[in-house]
Amino acid sequence: MAKVLVMHGPNLNLLGTREPEIYGHTTLADINEMLVRRGNAAGVEVDCYQSNHEGALVDRLQAANHNYDYIIFNAAAYTHYSVAIRDAIAAIEVPVIEVHISNIHQREAFRHTSMLAPVCLGQICGLGVESYLAALEAVIYKLGLHKKEQTR
Ligand code: CA2
């Protein structure tokens, strides 16, 4: 079975509790549940991980190498300045899709730069929590699993 790891960076554990005008009302548990369900329907096992700590995120990326087909990663604020996370993504063979709930390009100038984008397969941002679902949909297509679903 294909395996996808969804990773969430600092403060995303607060989703749905604060700043709903930017990040919406959906909780992190809701997002993870949506992704696991969509994945399972397509034949993809989805594991989810959140940490507020840079080193823990680096450790998880390293541990994921050779164990997952894709990683969907919202590195939150680390996106904009973490060389350690960028290096960890570059060091593993698993393709990483960068996601953001908000459109980082429409926000403050410091959010316009992603340290991670150059070492990621692609970036999806600004679609709300559906950014994660769009990334998973892309993975399902890339794995060729959308075809199987049509014939079920
Ligand atoms: O839009 C995104 O998904 C971000 O990755 C979210 C990060 C932000 O630093 C990035 O620039 C864009 C912030 C995550 C903080 O999440 C919170 C959720 C609820 C309440 C407070 C913070």
Which atom number of ligand 1 is nearest to the Cα of residue 125?
A: 1
pLDDT of residue 14: 96
In the three-class reduction of DSSP (H, G, I as helix; E, B as strand; rest coil), residue 29 is classed as helix
Q: Is 3 in the pocket of ligand 1 (CB under 6 A)?
A: no
**Reported confidence tier of residue 151, pLDDT bands at 50, 70, 90:** low
Tell the residue nearest (CA) to atom 12 of ligand 1: 76
Distances in whole angstroms, Cα of residue 62 to Cα of each of 5, 15, 55, 151: 12, 26, 11, 36
Q: Is 111 in the pocket of ligand 1 (CB under 6 A)?
A: yes
Cα of 44 to ligand 1 centre, how many Å?
26
Does residue 23 surpass a pLDDT of 90? no
